[in-house]
């Protein structure tokens, strides 16, 4: 069973950890923000979040974890039930969306079908009563930036999905907002186009220095594009950090499984000494790991990345697990070996393409204790959480 399927919650476990310790007020600040739509459950709970000016921050998490609700509160489409949001030091609670000077891009481009590309992009300027000459100049510049200048006369229906999304992006940028919010903007595009648009958005971010808060549930998109990623779980931030932090030092089983590929071994903590612990694996065997918040005698999940496992002899004090080769997946630049342990759990081991082990062969899977992280057996994942179950 993987961590994300783990049985249910002492809810709130994933949200109880401290989030960003900020040195001063950020460009955007959420302070103890909560949102309940129905008075019984929280869609967002105890949200403390600080976004720096010019930052590309991504909200990443499973469906129903509160990403859109968070973005909508920042945009002004939803009001927090509790707590305060400030933008450039000013509370925005009473400001309607159009006075927040925020550009928005959604998954479904929401372009006006009866307007041309130029009219769509110029719309935010005409509602702000910018002169016709200024509108023409600014629309021209921004269409140039998204490489759509030659499509100005077309209507949205005459464009491809990627082109429509670039129009939506141009319309969000044309009034030079200091903050742009994007909610799964590339979700409707195929993989190749999505990857291309990721680069374009990143380039525009670098070129304009605009602050972007971006929502996705695609972890590779989050890792490629962001300065920092807030990993959402059950209406709260499970961990906030750079892509590198999240990948190499996840603080929970949930984050370890959600970011990148991971093997999860279930067991019980036998003893903790200093930074390390020994874990008795369910079904037999034991392993030494870094202790990340675990206590002696408690159930835990040990996470280890496929590229941190190998089949060479274990170093002194290293972990060694007997296994049988259960499958080989050749991927050109590397080989993924499936290794079945005595307890029947299958580990994925990432090896060089030259590795020769055959199916059925007996091997020893080894890894350094510092590459294994033992977490308390995790709370589940999901959406809104019951108010009465809320921990403090």
Cα Rg of the chain (Å, integer): 24
Stretch that binds ligand ATP, among 61-69, 124-132, 197-205, 329-337 (CB under 6 A): 61-69
Q: What is the dihedral of CA 320, 322, 328, 333, to 10 degrees?
A: 10
Nearest-CA neighbor of 285 among 268, 299, 272? 268
- In the three-class reduction of DSSP (H, G, I as helix; E, B as strand; rest coil), residue 232 is classed as strand
Nearer to ligand ATP, 41 or 249 (CB): 41
Per CB under 6 A, does 178 bind ligand ATP? no
Q: Is residue 185 within the footprint of ligand ATP (CB under 6 A)?
A: no
Should residue 260 be labelled a site residue for ligand ATP when binding is judged by CB under 6 A? no
Among 68, 164, 239, 263, binds Mg ion (CB under 5 A): 68
User: Which residue in the set 119, 282, 383, 387 belongs to the binding site for ligand ATP (CB under 6 A)?
Assistant: 383
In 3-state terms, what secondary structure has residue 253?
helix
Q: Interface with ligand ATP includes 122 (CB under 6 A)?
A: no
Please identify which residue in 3, 34, 46, 66 interacts with ligand ATP, judged by CB under 6 A: 66
> Which part of the chain contacts Mg ion (CB under 5 A), choosing from 68-76, 115-123, 225-233, 360-368?
68-76
Q: Is 387 in the site for ligand ATP (CB under 6 A)?
A: no
- Residue of the chain from 43, 85, 148, 287 that contacts ligand ATP (CB under 6 A): 43
CB of 239 to ligand ATP, least distance (A): 16
**94: number of CA atoms within 13 Å, CB side?**
2
Alpha-carbon dihedral 208, 212, 217, 219, rounded to 10 degrees: 60
43 binds, among ligand ATP, Mg ion, none (CB under 5 to 8 A by kind): ligand ATP
- DSSP string covering 336-363: EEEEEETTS-EEEEEE-TT--PPTT-EE
Cα separation of 293 and 122, whole Å? 53
In the complex, minimum distance from the CB of residue 377 to ligand ATP, in angstroms, rounded to a whole number: 24
H-run or E-run covering 71: helix 67-75
Task: Please report how close the Cβ of residue 40 comes to ligand ATP at its closest, in angstroms.
Answer: 10
What's the rounded Cα separation, in Å, for the pair 322 and 361?
11
Residues of span 220-259 touching ligand ATP by CB under 6 A: none
Q: Which residues contact ligand ATP by CB under 6 A?
A: 37, 43, 61, 63-69, 217, 383-384
């Amino acid at each position: 069973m993987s961590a994300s399927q783990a049985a249910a919650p002492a809810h709130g476990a994933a949200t109880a950890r401290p989030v960003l310790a900020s040195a001063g007020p950020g460009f955007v600040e959420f302070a103890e923000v909560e949102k309940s739509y129905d008075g019984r459950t929280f869609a967002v709970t105890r949200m403390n979040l600080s976004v720096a000016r010019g930052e590309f921050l991504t909200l990443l998490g499973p469906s129903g974890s509160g990403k859109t609700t968070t973005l909508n509160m920042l945009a002004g489409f939803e009001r927090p039930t509790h707590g305060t949001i400030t933008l450039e030091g000013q509370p925005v609670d009473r400001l309607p969306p159009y006075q927040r000077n925020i550009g928005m891009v959604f998954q479904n481009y929401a372009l006006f079908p009866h307007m041309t590309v130029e009219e769509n992009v110029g719309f935010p300027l005409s509602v702000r009563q910018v002169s016709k000459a200024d509108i023409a100049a600014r629309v021209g510049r921004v269409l140039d930036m998204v490489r759509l200048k030659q499509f100005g006369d077309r209507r949205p229906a005459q464009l491809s999905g990627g082109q429509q999304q670039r129009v939506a992006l141009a319309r969000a940028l044309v009034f030079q907002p200091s903050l742009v919010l994007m909610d799964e903007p590339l979700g409707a595009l195929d993989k190749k186009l999505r990857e291309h648009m990721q680069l374009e958005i990143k380039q525009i971010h670098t070129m304009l220095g605009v602050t972007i808060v971006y929502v996705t549930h695609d972890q590779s998109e989050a890792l490629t594009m962001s300065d920092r990623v807030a990993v959402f779980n059950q209406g709260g931030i499970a961990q906030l950090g750079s892509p590198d932090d999240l990948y190499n030092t996840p603080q929970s089983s949930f984050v370890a499984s959600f970011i990148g590929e991971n093997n999860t071994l279930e067991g019980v903590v036998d003893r903790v000494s200093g930074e390390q612990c020994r874990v008795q694996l369910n079904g037999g065997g034991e392993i030494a790991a870094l202790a990340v918040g675990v206590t002696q005698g408690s159930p835990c999940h040990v996470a280890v990345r496929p590229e941190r496992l190998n089949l060479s002899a274990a170093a002194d004090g290293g972990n060694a697990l007997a296994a049988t080769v259960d499958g080989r997946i050749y991927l050109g630049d590397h080989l993924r070996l499936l290794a079945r342990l005595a307890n029947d759990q299958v580990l994925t081991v990432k090896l060089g393409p030259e590795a020769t082990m055959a199916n059925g062969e007996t091997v020893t899977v080894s890894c350094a204790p510092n590459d294994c992280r033992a977490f308390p057996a995790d709370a589940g994942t999901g959406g809104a959480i019951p108010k009465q179950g809320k921990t403090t």
